Amino acid sequence: MTTTTETYGVDPNPTPLALLLLGREADPRSERGVECPGDLPAASDPDLVERARAAKEKLGDRVFILGHHYQRDEVIEFADVTGDSFKLARDAAARPEAEYIVFCGVHFMAESADILTSEAQQVVLPDLAAGCSMADMATAEQVAECWDVLSDAGIADVTVPVSYMNSSADIKAFTGKHGGTICTSSNAKRALEWAFEQGQKVLFLPDQHLGRNTAVLEMGFSLEDCVLYNPHKPNGGLTAEELRNAKMILWRGHCSVHGRFNLQSVEEVRERIPGVTVLVHPECKHEVVTAADMVGSTEYIIKALDAAEPGSKWAIGTELNLVRRLAKAHPDKEVVFLDRTVCFCSTMNRIDLPHLVWALESLVEGRVPNVITVDPETEKYAKAALDRMLALP
C-alpha cells in the first residue's frame, strides 16, 4: 500500500487556516499562527537551562528580558523583570541602553515595546505565533467601518476611543489619530475618567468585559448605558438611536481564557471552600465579576495575595501559570484556581524554553530573530495614544 497524506486523512492541500492552526505560514492581518523560522533545540535537551543561562550571560547588558505574568515558570526564571502589560510597557521604555528587548509575552506587547523604545533597540518575540485572540477580534478595517457608522449616527465628534493594551498597533494608531488613549486593566478607570472629560461617549476596544466592568462597577454607569457593537453585523447590529443614547459603545471582543470562567465556577468554589475569597481579573464576564469578592489586574491580584492573612483562602480567576506560581509563593495560604476546566493561555504558552534558548543563542551568534517592527506612520499615532496613557494621573 502506498502511504499518502490522504491515507492518514490529512488534506494534501491544506487551507491557509489549517496552516495557521499548525503554526505555519503567515497571515499579516492576524496575530495568530505566523511561521516561526529557525532550528529550535529539542524540548528534551537536558542542557536547555544551562544554554539559556550561558547565552544570557554572554549577552550581558545588551539584552533585557521581559516576562509577562502569564508566562511559563521555565521562561519567568530568565526574565529580568516580570509584570502585567502596563508595567512591562513602562519597563521597556526605561531601558534605553539594552540593544535587544526579548519580550516573553504576546505579539501586541512586543509591538508596544517597539513603539516605546528607541530606533536603536530591537524587540524580539521568541515565537512569532504568540499572538492574542482578543487582539485579533478588532481589525483596522472593522474599526474604520465602525467609525463611519458612528459618523453617520452623528456621534463620532463626541466619541473618544479608549483601546485596551491588548490590541494591535493598527488599533492603537486609530485610537491616537482620533484623540483617544490606551488603557490596561490597572488603569482602565483613570483612562475612562480622562476620556469622559474629553467627550460625551467612549468607544471601548476590543474587550467588552473590561469596558463594561469598569464603566458599571467603577464609574457608576448602568448596564443600559452600554451597547455592544458587533463588527460582524451591519451597523454593528445597532440603530442610530441606540448609539446616540449610549454612553459606552463596547466592541464585541473578549479574552478566550478569562471569558470561560462562569457563575457556576464561583458558586461551586464557595460551596467547596467555605470562607473563600473569590478574586478575578476584569476580563471576566460581568456576572462573574459581580459574583466575586474582589476584582483587579494581574498586578493587583499579586499584591492582594502578598497582603493576605496567613491561613486565608483564595480562589483566583486568571491565567493558570500565574495562579500556580501564587499558590507556590504562598504556602501559608490556600490558593486555588477558580475553575476546574479553564486552561492556560495557549498563545502565551507558545514561548517556552526551546524558543527562548533559540532566540538568545541567535543573538549571541549575531543574528536578530523574530524582530517586531511597527511602521513609522502607525508608530507615530500609536505612540500618541500610548503616551496619553503613560501621562494619565
Task: Identify what 297 binds: ligand SF4, ligand 13P, none; CB under 5 to 8 Å per kind.
Answer: ligand 13P
Does the annotation flag 13 for ligand binding?
no
> Taking the complex as a whole, how short is the minimal distance between the CB of residue 19 and ligand 13P, in angstroms?
25
- Beta 294-295 vs 277-280: how paired, if at all? parallel
Picking from 165, 130, 82, the residue whose alpha carbon sits closest to that of residue 344 is 130
Residues that bind ligand SF4 (CB under 6 A): 70, 106, 132-134, 166, 255-257, 319, 345, 347-348
Is 283 marked as a binding-site residue? Answer: yes
Q: What CA–CA distance (Å, rounded) separates 359 from 303? A: 32
Q: How far is the CB of 165 from ligand SF4 (least distance, A)?
A: 9
Cα(185)–Cα(89) distance, rounded to whole angstroms?
13
Does 300 show up as a binding residue in the annotation? Answer: no
Please report how close the Cβ of residue 297 comes to ligand 13P at its closest, in angstroms.
4
Closest to 91 in 3D by CA, of 111, 112, 66: 66
Q: Give the containing element (helix H, strand E) for 52.
A: helix 48-59
Residue 44 in marked binding region: no
184 binds, among ligand SF4, ligand 13P, none (CB under 5 to 8 A by kind): ligand 13P
User: Distance between the two ends of the chain, CA-based, in angstroms?
Assistant: 71
Which residue lies nearer to ligand SF4 by CB, 21 or 158?
21
Least distance from ligand 13P to the Cβ atom of residue 76, Å: 14
128 binds, among ligand SF4, ligand 13P, none (CB under 5 to 8 A by kind): none
Q: Alpha-carbon distance 139 to 316, whole Å?
A: 31
> Binding site annotation covers 185?
yes
Cβ-proximal residues to 307 (8 Å cutoff; 6+ apart), any chain: none
Is 164 annotated as ligand-binding? Answer: yes
The listed partner (ligand SF4, ligand 13P, none) that binds 185, CB under 5 to 8 Å by sort, is: ligand 13P
Q: 133 contacts which partner out of ligand SF4, ligand 13P, none, CB within 5 to 8 A by kind?
A: ligand SF4
No. of H helices and E strands in the chain?
16, 13
Q: Which does 175 bind (CB under 5 to 8 A by kind): ligand 13P, ligand SF4, none?
A: none
Q: Is 298 annotated as a binding residue?
A: yes
Which residue lies nearer to ligand SF4 by CB, 107 or 178? 107
The Cα–Cα gap between 379 and 381 comes to 6
> What DSSP assignment string belongs to 252-281?
S---TTGGG--HHHHHHHHHHSTTPEEEE-
Closest CB 258 distance from ligand SF4, rounded Å: 6
Q: Output the residue with the shortest Cβ distance to ligand 13P.
A: 84
Q: What share of the chain is helix, strand, coil (3-state, %, to 5)?
A: 45, 15, 40
Q: Which of 115, 166, 196 is nearest to 386 (CA)?
A: 115
Confirm or deny that 281 is annotated as ligand binding: yes
**Residues in the site for ligand 13P, rule: CB under 6 A?**
84-86, 166, 184-185, 255, 283, 297-298
Q: Minimal distance in Å, beta carbon 137 to ligand SF4?
A: 10
Under DSSP, is residue 97 helix (H, G, I), strand (E, B) or coil?
coil
The nearest distance, CB 256 to ligand SF4, in angstroms, is 5
- Please tell me whether 294 is known to bind a ligand: no
- Identify the three-state secondary structure at position 358: helix
Beta strands of 3-143 (E only): which ranges?
Answer: 63-68, 81-83, 100-104, 122-124
In the list ligand 13P, ligand SF4, none, the entry touching 127 (Cβ below 5 to 8 angstroms by class) is none
- Whichever of 226 and 284 has its CB closer to ligand 13P, that residue is 284
1 alpha carbon, distance to own chain's centre = 48
85 touches, from ligand 13P, ligand SF4, none (C-beta below 5 to 8 Å by class): ligand 13P
Rounded to a whole number of angstroms, the CA Rg of the chain reads: 22
Q: Is 355 within any annotated ligand binding site?
A: no
| Residues 349 and 75 sit within 8 Å (Cβ to Cβ) | no
Least distance in Å: CB of 248 to ligand SF4? Answer: 20
- Binding positions: 68, 85, 132, 164-166, 185, 255, 281-283, 298, 345
